A and B are shown apart, each in its own frame.
Chain A
Amino acid sequence: MISLTINGQTLEVPENTTILNAARQAGIVIPTLCHHKDLTPYGGCRLCSVDIQGMRLPATACTMLVSPGMVVQTESPALTQYRRTILELLLVRFYDAGYTHDGSAQLELDTQFAHWVRYYDIDMKSAMAKEPFRQIDSDPNPFIWVDKNKCIMCTRCVRACAEVQGRFVWTQAYRGYDLRIVAGLDTTMLQARCESCGACVAHCPTGALDNKMSLKLGMPDRTVSTICPYCGVGCQLDLNVKDDVPGGRVLSVSSSEKAPVNGDHLCVKGRYGYEFIHSENRLKQPRVRKYLLDGVARPKDRGPWVDVDWDTALNIVAKGLNSARSQYGPDSIGLLTSGKVFNEENYLMGKFARQVLGTNNIDCSVHLNHRSVVDGLNDSLGLPAMSNSMQDIAGNARTILVIGSNITENHPVFGSKIRQAVLRRKAQLIVASPIFFNIEEYAALSLRYKPGTETALLNGLMRIILEKGWEDKKFIQKRTQGFEEFRSLVDKYPLDKVSQLTGVPAEKLNAAAEIIAGNHPMAVIWGSDLATQVAGVDNASDLANLQLLMGNLGVSGGGVAPLRTQNNSQGACDMGGLPSVYPGYQLVADKQAHKKFETAWGTDLPVNAGLSALEMMKAVNQGSLKALFILGENLWSDENSAYIRRSLDQCEFVVLCEALSSEACHHADVCLPGVSFAENTGTYTNTERRVQFVRQAIQPQGDSKPEWQIISDLARRILVQNDKRTAGAMYSGWVYKDTREIMSEIAALTPIYAGVSHERLERGDVLLWPVRSFADSGSPILYESDFPLGKARFMPVG
C-alpha cells in the first residue's frame, strides 16, 4: 500500500494506482474527457491535470501513478484557469449544429464534454467555431451517426474499437489542422469492417459519434435496467423510456458500465435491434378462426380470422385442448415452450403440460441444439451446461478451442472477449471449422476440416496427445472412469487416416496437439453449428472426453462451453421444458422425482415418455397428435421447415402464443398476443448458468398480456372445465400475483435453483447455478471438487 495526500486528505491505496483512481476512491472528482475506466489511459486531453508538490508543471492524474508521500492538489484558481483554457482551445475546433427532430429548437448537449464546459462557466455557443468545418452526418452507417465537427480527438472511439470490440475501425489520421479520426483507409465505417456494435458511440464524450436511430428523439424520461433478449450471452442493457404515450415507449438502448457480464459493451443486435418492441407486426388482440365461433367444422385453410376478447379466446383454447384430451387421450396434445421467454413461464409450461394436461409431450423447439448438450454432457459430466463462466474463460484460459461456432456473429460480446484474450494476454486460439468465420483472424492455428468429420478430428487429436504422453494422468486416474475403453477406441484413429478423413494436414494436427498440451488450461467452446448436427450428442461427448483427457475440468480457465443460441435456451431446459425432465433435470423416469412432483402439484403425473419437438411433428403427420400449443417460437427458424409446415397444416388444433406475427400464424387456429421483454418482469438464465433479472419498462402493447398470465389463466379454465381438483397440495394452484411468486415455487422444487429469488437478483447477487440455498453464492466454475456422478465418464465416440 502507498500513502499519499490528496487535498489534505491522507489516503492508502495499492501500488500502481493512478492519482485519478486514488482520488475517485476518496470521492474526489477530477474532471476528465479522454479517460474511460475500461480503456488504456491516454493522457491526451489534459483536463485531469493536478498539482503535485515538487513538480514544476501540473501532471495528468489519469496517467500518473501514485508514489509514497506524494502531495496532490486537485483544485486551485490556477488549475481552474488551466482547465478552462484547455476547454476553450478544444472549442475552437468544435461546432454543435444542435439537431432536433423538427429543426426548430436548439437542444442543449447532454454530454460529458458539455458538462465540463458548463461547469467551468464557458458559454459553448460563443466559444465554439462559427460554422461547421466538416460534413455533419458524414457516414452512411445505418446505426452510427458521425459528426466530426464535435470531435475533440480524445481517441476514446479509437481505443474502444481496439480494446472492446477488437476491430480497429477508427484511427487518428493526418496531422495538424487536418488531424481527425478516420475509419480504416479513410473510407466509410462499414468498408472499414465496422460491426456496428456501437462501442465507439458508448465511449464518445462529445456526441461526435451518436446513435442515428434515436439522435433526434430528445431525452428519455426514465431508464430501466434489464437483460438483452437476443443471444445466450445475456448482456445487461438500459432501456431509455419516454412517457409521452400511454404506457411509455422505448426510445433507445444504452449500455451501462455497471453491467456484470458486458460492461459498456453491447453488439449491434442488443444496442440497435429494439424496434420490434413497437413494430407494426406486434399481435395486439387475441384472434380466433371464424369457424370456432360458428361451431362448425374446420375448413381446409382454417378460414378467416376474427378479433375477439381474452375470455372468448381462452375459453376456445381450453375447450379445444380439453376435447382433444378427452377424445384421444392426453398424449394427443403437444406443447412447445421457448428459449425466448422467462424461466417462470417455462416452468409454468411444464407444469401445465404435466399437471393440467397430463402429458410429457413438451419440448423447446430448438430441440436439436439442446438435446445434444443435455444428453451429451449429462452422461459424461453430470450437468448439462457450460462449466466455466465467460469471464473466467476470457480471463484465464491459455488455450481456447472454438469449434463449429461463428462466435463473433452469434455471441458477439463473448466473441469480442475472446479477441481481447488473444490481443491482451496472448491466449492461444485454435479455430476449427469447415468454413471461414471471422474469429479465425485471431487464431494461432485454424483447422479447416471436412463437414461431419468432427469425431475423426477430435479422436485424432486425442490419439496424438496419448502417443506423446501429454494427457493428465493424475486427473484421469483420480477423477474419471472408462478410460481404457476410450483409449482403445481412440487408437483406431492414426494420424494419416485422420488427416485423410478430415482433410487437415498432419502437421497442423500435430501443431494443434502441441498448443493444447503446452498451454494449459484450455477452454473448449462450441456453438449450434456443432450442436445441431445429427452427431451433436457425440460431438459434445467427445469434447468432454478431450477436456477429461487434459484435466481441463474443475479448473479456472478450462471447461466445456456449449453456447446457447437464445437468451433463455439454458433456462428453458433448466425449467423442465424437455420431454424427459422436470425442473432442474430431475428425471421423469426417476421414481423419487416423479413422486416429489405428484406430491407438490397434487395430482397423478404421466409416466409415458414424452415426445421431442420433431417427434411431435412426426406424430402429427401420423395422426396421433391432434393439438399443439406453441409458445413464443417461430418454428421456421428451425431445421426442415417444409416438413414442419406440412405437419402444422395437418394438425387439428394449433394454438400460438406469440408477441409478433410470424408465418406460424398462417397455420394456427388461435393467436394469443404475448409481450416483448420490455413489457414483462422475470428471469432469464444465460449460457453460463447466470440467472438474471428482467425488468418491465413499458406497459404491454395493445391488448397483449404477459405469457405467465396467459398460461395460468388457461390452466385455471381447463381445471374448472374438467372439474379437476388439485387442492391441498402445496404447489397445485394457478393463482400467481407476479413472477416473483412463481420463482419461489421453482426454488422450492428445483435444487439447483433453490437459492434463487427475485429479491436476491434485485439486490445484485451474482447467481450462477447450482445455487443450493439462499446463503449459497452460486458456482462460476463447476466440478471443482467433484462430479455429480462421483467420477466423470469417458464416452467413447466413433
Chain B
Amino acid sequence: MDHENKDLDLASLVDKVVREHGATPDSVIPILSEINRTLGYIPAGTLPEIRRRIQIPQEGVFLADSHVYSAASFYQMFSLKPLGRHVIRFCESAPCHVEGGRQVIEALQKELGLQPGETSQDQKWSLLTTSCLGVCSVGPVFLVDDDIFGNVTPERVPEILARYE
C-alpha cells in the first residue's frame, strides 16, 4: 500500500515538474534537477515517468529510458540513490589537489568514518567527490549542501562539520 502511494506521489511530482518546465527533450535536465532538489535524489521510478511524458511522434521526437538515464547518471550534482541529510561534495580536480586536497579528503574520511560515495548509517552525512566547483583561487574546496568552504585545512574539518545538525 505504502509502495503504491509512493509511486502515485512520484507520478504527480513528475507531472508537476514537467508542466513547469515543458514536455520537450530540452527540458530533461531542468526536470531532473528540480526532482533532485525536491527529493534530495532522483528515484529510478521517476525516469520512465519523465520519458513517458516527453513523446511527440508527430514531430519525430522519441525519448527512451536510456536517454534520461544518460543525463541523470552524468551530472555529479544528481544522485540516483538517497543521500544523507547533509551532503559533502569534495573537489578532486587538479588545482585543489596541488593545494593539499588529499590531506583534506583524508581528514573528512577519518572524521566521518566514510569512504567517498558512502552515506553514514544514521543518514546524517554523505561524502561525495566532484570535479571542479569553479573557485580554484581558494582551493582546497568542498561544499556542504549549498555552503561552499575554501582554503580548507585538515584542522578546520571538525569545526566545519560541527556547524551541521
Using a CB–CB distance below 8 Å, which chain A residues touch chain B?
166-176, 182-186, 192-193, 422-426, 428-429, 441-444
Contacts and interface: CB of A to CB of B under 8 A. Distances in A.
Residue among A169, A171, A193 facing the most chain B CB atoms (10 A cut-off): A171
A235 to B, nearest CB: 24
A182 B59 contact: no
Contacts of A171: 64, 66-67, 69-70
Contacts of B67: 168, 171
B116 to A, nearest CB: 12
Nearest to A162: B64
B104 to A, nearest CB: 20
Interface in B48-82: 48, 55, 57-60, 62, 64-67, 69-70, 73-74, 76
Contacts of B14: none
B73 A174 contact: yes
B62 A175 contact: no
Given A171-B70, A183-B66, A193-B64, 8 more contacts: A168-B65, A171-B64, A171-B66, A173-B73, A184-B65, A424-B60, A426-B59, A441-B62
A185 B58 contact: no
B8 interface: no
B73 to A, nearest CB: 4
B83 interface: no
Given A185-B44, A185-B47, A426 B60 contact: yes
A447 to B, nearest CB: 14
A167 B59 CA distance: 17
12 contacts: A168-B66, A168-B67, A171-B64, A171-B69, A171-B70, A172-B70, A175-B74, A185-B44, A185-B65, A423-B62, A426-B59, A429-B57
B60 A422 contact: yes
A774 B113 CA distance: 83
A428 B58 contact: yes
Contact of A192 (B57, B58, B59, B65): B65
Interface residues of B, number: 19
B53 to A, nearest CB: 14
Nearest to A515: B58
A186 B62 CA distance: 19
Contacts of B48: 185
A172 B72 CA distance: 11
Nearest to B59: A426
Nearest to B65: A184
B58 A186 contact: no
Nearest to A172: B70
B69 A186 contact: yes
Contacts of B76: 175
Contact of B74 (A173, A185, A428): A173
Given A168-B64, A185-B47, A173 B58 contact: no
Nearest to A167: B64
Contacts of A441: 55, 57, 62
A173 B57 contact: no
Nearest to A179: B74
B68 to A, nearest CB: 8
A425 B60 CA distance: 7
Contacts of A174: 73-74
B23 to A, nearest CB: 16
Contacts of B60: 422-426
A166 B62 CA distance: 9
A513 to B, nearest CB: 16
B66 A182 contact: yes
A166 B66 CA distance: 12
Contacts of A444: 57-58
Best-surrounded residue of B57, B59, B67, B70 (most CB of chain A within 10 A)? B57
B69 A173 contact: yes
B66 A442 contact: no
A327 B64 CA distance: 67
Contacts of A172: 70
B76 to A, nearest CB: 7
Nearest to B92: A176
A394 to B, nearest CB: 14
Contacts of A192: 65-66
Nearest to A445: B58
Given A174-B74, A443-B57, A182 B64 contact: no
A170 B66 contact: yes
A422 B74 CA distance: 28
Contacts of A193: 64-65
Contacts of A183: 66
